[in-house]
Amino acid sequence: MESKGHPGLQYMRVEAELESRKAEGKPEDQIGASLHLALRKGTPQQHLRLNAPCKIEVKHANFYYGSQQALFDISLPIRERQVTALIGPSGSGKSTFLRTLNRMNDLIPQSRLEGEAMMDGENIYAKKTDVVLLRQKIGMMFQRPNPFPKSIFENVAYGLRVQGHAKKVIEEQVERSLRDAALWDEVKDRLKSSALSLSGGQQQRLCLARALAVKPEVLLMDEPASALDPIATLKIEELINELVEYYTIVIVTHNMQQAARIAQFTGFFLSGRLIEHGQTADLFQHPTQPETESYVSGRFS
C-alpha cells in the first residue's frame, strides 16, 4: 500500500493548500467548498469499475427487531474496491442494513435475519463463521467517533494485541495505520496522550486507523462525517476517495452531495425497502423509480 503513495499523501496536499488559503484570510467553510473543487484528484467516476466483482452479495434479506420488520426483501451486490453509498430518509433501514453485513445486529436481543448474505462466496451467517474474525475483515466506523479511553497508540494497537502480535509488528502496524488514516503527522509526537484529547475529526481518523490496523477487506461507515465540520468532512471524503483503491467501502450518508462526491454505487432505501440501486451518477440523474426521483430532487427528506 505504501509503495503507491498511501492515502495520507493526498491529505498532506490538502493540508498544505488549506494553510495557504487560510493565510489568504478566507473563511473556513468557503475554503472547504473551494478545496473540494480545486483538489479533487480522484472523482468517484475515475475509480468506477463496472466489472468489479461482488465482494458481498445480499439476497432477499428480511430483518426483524422482535416482531417489527425493519428490512423487506433487500437484494444488493456490494462491489469489490468500490464505494457503495446508502441513502434514504431517517428510519428507512440504512443502519440496520449496514449492521447486518458484519453481524453487529447479532448483539440486539430478539433480532433475526432471513435471507442470504455472502462474502467471497461464504455465508456470513453460517454457524461456523467466527464473528470476531468476520468483524476484523469487515471493520466499522460510527457516526460519532468512539475512541477507547486509552492512549492514541493503544487505540490503534488494540486489535493487534488481541491477535497476539510481537511488539515490533504492533509498532510498525500502528504507524502504518495512522499514516493511512492521514493522522500520523499530527500525533506522532504524542502517541501516549489520551485519544480523548484529539479533536472530533482527529478522533474519527483515529477510529479509521484502529479499523485499518487489523487489515480489513471491507469498511462499513455509518454517517462518519455527520458530526464533523466542513474541513474535517473534506478530509474524510478525500481519504475515502483514496482508500477505495484498496478497500470495499459501504457508507451510510444523509448527504446526497456527499454520496455523489465519493460513491461509485448508491442504493436508495425507503421504509425498509431498497427502492433502487445502481451507479451513483445514474441514480441521481436518471432514477428509474418515482420515489427515488422525488427523494433526489428534494421533494421529501
Ligand X SMILES: Nc1ncnc2c1ncn2[C@@H]1O[C@H](COP(=O)(O)OP(=O)(O)OP(=O)(O)O)[C@@H](O)[C@H]1O
Is 5 among the residues that bind ligand X (CB under 6 A)? Answer: no
Query: How many residues bind ligand X, per CB under 6 A?
Result: 12
Distance between CA atoms of residues 215 and 139, nearest Å: 9
Residue 185: which residues within 8 A CB-CB, separation 6 or more?
A: 8, 12
Region at 89 (left for phi over 0; alpha for psi -120 to 50; beta for the rest) = beta
First-to-final CA distance of the chain:
39
Half-sphere exposure of 229 (CA within 13 A, CB side): 11
Which residue is associated with the grid cell 455509518? 222
- C-alpha cell recorded at residue 116: 442470504
Using CB under 6 A, pick the residue from 65, 125, 142, 148 that binds ligand X: 65
Amino acid (one-letter) located at 9? L
Using CB under 6 A, pick the residue from 91, 162, 188, 289 that binds ligand X: 91
91 binds, among Mg ion, ligand X, none (CB under 5 to 8 A by kind): ligand X
Is 96 among the residues that bind ligand X (CB under 6 A)? Answer: yes
Residue 96 CB, nearest approach to ligand X (Å): 3
The candidate with the shortest Cα–Cα distance to 208, out of 229, 225, 191, is 225
Using CB under 6 A, pick the residue from 7, 8, 44, 93 that binds ligand X: 93
Is 95 among the residues that bind Mg ion (CB under 5 A)? Answer: yes
Is 102 among the residues that bind ligand X (CB under 6 A)? Answer: no
* Cβ atoms of residues 62 and 73 within 8 Å: yes
Using CB under 6 A, pick the residue from 10, 82, 92, 136 that binds ligand X: 92
Which residue is associated with the grid cell 426483501? 73
Distance between CA atoms of residues 130 and 282, nearest Å: 37
Taking contact as CB under 6 A, which single stretch among the options 87-95, 131-139, 181-189, 278-286 is the one that binds ligand X?
A: 87-95
Which residue is associated with the grid cell 479533487? 40
- C-alpha cell recorded at residue 260: 455523489
Q: Over the Cα atoms of the chain, what is R_g? A: 19
Is 105 among the residues that bind Mg ion (CB under 5 A)? Answer: no
* Cβ atoms of residues 264 and 84 within 8 Å: yes
Residue 143 CB, nearest approach to ligand X (Å): 8
Is 253 among the residues that bind ligand X (CB under 6 A)? Answer: no
Measured from the CB atom, the residue of 69 and 163 that comes closer to Mg ion is 69
Using CB under 6 A, pick the residue from 61, 70, 124, 234 that binds ligand X: 70
Measured from the CB atom, the residue of 5 and 91 that comes closer to ligand X is 91
Using CB under 6 A, pick the residue from 108, 132, 162, 169 that binds ligand X: 108
Is 264 among the residues that bind Mg ion (CB under 5 A)? Answer: no
Residue 227 CB, nearest approach to ligand X (Å): 13
Which residues form the interface with ligand X (CB under 6 A)?
65, 68, 70, 88, 90-96, 108
Which residues form the interface with Mg ion (CB under 5 A)?
95
